[in-house]
Amino acid sequence: MSTAEPSVFSRIVAREIPATIVAETERLIAIEDIAPKAPVHVLVIPKTEAYANVVELAAGDPGLLAELVAMAEGIAADRADGQFRLVFNTGESAGQTVFHVHAHVLAGDLQEGTLAA
């Protein structure tokens, strides 16, 4: 077991850091992004830190990845008539800054800049 500090997302799951929760299940949490890049910008995050990125998640727990996509679709249905972008940053040079897999659900006009997190 790793002795690394919990990720910011694990701290949100544990309610140590406040966040605006959009949806939650036993295995996932969805929160408003604190620096939105589009009118709808929600992060969907597995509650486990076992996977650093979407490639690891797909290999290790494809069912959880399917749940994540289904939650993203539901959020988009509620907030954007079902139309959305689903972005996973994988690796530091791709803009990933939190190495706890998560998806960005974006809808509406994308603002300039990158999707870091």
Following DSSP, what letter does each residue of 23-59 receive, concatenated? Answer: EE-SSEEEEE-SS-SSSEEEEEEES--S-SSHHHHHH
Q: Look-up: residue for tokens 């295995």?
A: 27
pLDDT of residue 59: 98
Architecture of domain 8-107 in this structure: 2-Layer Sandwich (3.30)
- Which one from 41, 100, 102, 104 is the annotated catalytic residue? 102
- CB-CB contact of 65 with 103 (8 Å): no
Q: What is the mean pLDDT of the chain?
A: 92
pTM: 0.90
Average pLDDT over residues 79-91: 96
H or E segment at 85?
strand 85-87
The amino acid at residue 105 is V
Q: What is the tens place of the pLDDT at every residue in 10-26?
A: 999 999 999 999 999 99
- CB-CB contact of 8 with 17 (8 Å): yes
- Is 102 marked active-site? yes
Average pLDDT over residues 98-103: 97
Average pLDDT over residues 25-51: 97
Query: Cα–Cα distance between 84 and 26 in angstroms, integer?
Result: 24
H or E segment at 70?
helix 62-80
- pLDDT over 80 at 34, yes or no: yes
- For the chain, give every domain's residue range: 8-107
Average pLDDT over residues 50-65: 98
Could you tell me which of 47, 48, 46, 20 has the C-alpha nearest to residue 103? Answer: 46
